[in-house]
Amino acid sequence: MDARTIRLRAGLSVLWRREGESQIGVDPRCAVVLENLTRGEQRVLDLLDGPDFAPTEADLTRLGHTVGVAPGRVRELLGLLDRSGVLDHGSRRTGSALGPEEAYWSRVLPGGDGAGLLAGRDHAVVRVCGLDHVGLRIATHLSEAGVGTLLLDDEHPVRRSDVGPYEPIDVGRPRAERARALLRASYPRLRTQAEPGRGPDLVVAVFAAVADPVRLVPVLREDLEHLPVVIGDVDIAVGPLVRPGRGPCTRCLDLHRTEADPAWPAVATQMRCAAPAAAARQLGQIGAVVAAHQALAAIDGREVAVEAATLEVGPLSPLPVLRQWTIHPECGCGGPDPVRAAGADAAASRSRTDPHGSASEQPASRPTAPV
């Protein structure tokens, strides 16, 4: 008989619904309902509900023998739970021994490998360019989520409007220097230098008013994935996630805007040259959370909402607005020399006038498992 311990995914519990019916988990995306059970079968399932004890099949069979459940039926119930995806095959530790991050991802990932996801984050290198209070909030969220190495880039001085994630005493000192110190103090395991020869897996570039293609030239030259975050007058636009040669880039957006408004290059150039306006704190908080969420999805290899799209978020809208974008035929991003194309046309792009609505997900109900 199999001596391996049998565990539910972290955070899932065996819940009694009524006589003959038990439920494991609550959310339909990670739960299952078992019907037509005998009282003995419900007791066998109850043995799985212990944060500090993981029974073996032999333990369950012994209990089944005392409550009138045959060994074959015990194996049948375990097979049903396994097919329903509520058993944990990834961790050798009980649920109470897992940290909250690992427990969460072990519960929701299809393979249940929360430890593997966090190990991938710890190995990841992310560069954050632009460290006003929005950029530092993004860096803080990434650090808290377990990103192992952050390269921080912004030699501008801390402004009074940055105080919040920065301390008042930091005003006037270089942002990158103070950001490194603050993050290391809160997250001692964070690395702020990459290993020799190791480039970033993702660059998060924070801009005021409009994206600056000149700042992105080194990123394009190295074919690095990057996520623009643009702080606008009313909202913050996150995206698109630029995967070189595979989707629209910031220059594509500028070219689309120029088609819609021929004066856009002149307007954009003036906005880039003007002193950046400080983002409102609430706007910055909302934008930083969304940007970090999308950056983490890209690092983890999960679905990204800003693939060929932007998410526009702000205090005036209860939900983000998702806008789809396409590669512009006159942009060189899909061709052999995107750097030359970026330098040749620093501005321009066309705003879609019809937003595609907010991004939302409707969880599908988990079917009841017949037993």
Residues 108, 30 contacting (CB under 8 angstroms): yes
What are the tens digits of pLDDT across the range 289-325?
999 999 999 999 999 999 999 999 988 888 899 999 9
Residue 36's Cβ-count burial label (10 Å; 0-12, 13-18, 19+) is exposed
pLDDT score of 17 = 93
Calpha distance 190→187 (Å, rounded): 6
Closest CA to 194 of 182, 206, 203, 186: 203
Computed over every residue of the chain, the mean pLDDT equals 85
pLDDT score of 273 = 79
Percent pLDDT > 70 in the chain is 86
pLDDT score of 106 = 86
Per-residue pLDDT for 7 more than 50? yes
Higher-confidence residue of 1 and 36: namely 36
Per-residue pLDDT for 363 more than 50? no
Per-residue pLDDT for 350 more than 60? no
CATH code of the region 117-344: 3.40.50.720
Least confident of 49-58, 187-196, 212-221, 311-320: 49-58
For the chain, the domains span 14-99, 117-344
Per-residue pLDDT for 156 more than 70? yes
Work out the angle at residue 324's Cα, subtended by the Cα atoms of residues 319 and 325, and round it to the nearest 5 degrees.
145
Average pLDDT in the 25-47 region? 92
pLDDT score of 345 = 43
What are the tens digits of pLDDT across the range 42-67?
999 999 887 667 888 899 999 999 99
Closest CA to 193 of 222, 225, 153, 234: 153
Percent pLDDT > 90 in the chain is 56
Highest mean pLDDT among 24-28, 181-185, 209-213, 317-321: 181-185
Q: The pTM is what?
A: 0.82
Does a cis peptide bond (omega within 30 degrees of 0) precede residue 240?
yes
Higher-confidence residue of 278 and 130: namely 130
Per-residue pLDDT for 349 more than 50? no
The separation between the first and the last C-alpha atoms of the chain, rounded to the nearest angstrom, is 23
- DSSP characters for 165-211? TB-GGGTTSBHHHHHHHHHHHH-TT-BSSPPTTPPPSEEEEEEESS-
